[in-house]
Amino acid sequence: SHRVSILSSHLSPVMASEKEAALAATPSDSPTIFDKIISKEIPSTVVFEDDKVLAFRDVTPQGPVHILLIPKVRDGLTGLSKAEERHIDILGRLLYTAKLVAKQEGLDEGFRIVINDGPQGCQSVYHIHVHLIGGRQMNWPPG
Ligand code: TR5
């Protein structure tokens, strides 16, 4: 159908990696996969949860420990570039919770915090999230 041809014309037939998908992704306000993780409709390995923040293991870990911390309510915060003053509390809470989870995971020698933003930042999910990666030596500069 016409609709199918429109869809296929802007989707590459082979998406070799999630990062390629991120580079092709269009920033969007639509619901994301993380809504279903928050509602537990899609299972995840939760490592920390309170009324505001959910932390769960990344399905494609980039280290022995790779956890995503997200606000349970997105409130327009598709990415850090969309932050407004009303988000200051949740932004601080995400980082503070990352520190608690790093401790809980035994990352006493250090860890890496990453927030990818937009296509050039390789963001693929438009619900802000903090990556907590550790358990191995990190390198600098990042790719
Ligand atoms: O690329 P950005 O910074 O947007 O990070 C998105 C992260 O979400 C990636 O590291 C993915 O591996 C991760 N991701 C994607 C999905 C997913 C997930 N982590 C846990 N569970 C997931 N499910 C069930 N589905 C995904 N599509």
Catalytic residue among 66, 87, 127, 129: 129
The per-residue pLDDT for 11 is 43
pLDDT bracket for residue 14 (50, 70, 90): low
Return the beta strands (E) in 22-111 as ranges: 46-49, 53-57, 65-71
CA of 83 to the centre of ligand 1 (A): 21
Residue 129 is among the residues annotated as catalytic for this protein? yes
Sign of CA dihedral 81, 129, 35, 7: positive
pLDDT higher than 70, residue 4 = no
CA of 59 to the centre of ligand 1 (A): 6
> What b/e string do you get for 111-133 counting C-beta neighbours within 10 Å, with b at 16 or more?
bbeebbbbeeebbbbbbbbbbbb
Give tens-digit pLDDT for 84-141.
999 999 999 999 999 999 999 999 999 999 999 999 999 999 999 999 999 999 999 9
ipTM of this predicted structure: 0.99
**pTM, two decimal places:** 0.89
CB of 107 shorter than 6 A to ligand 1: no
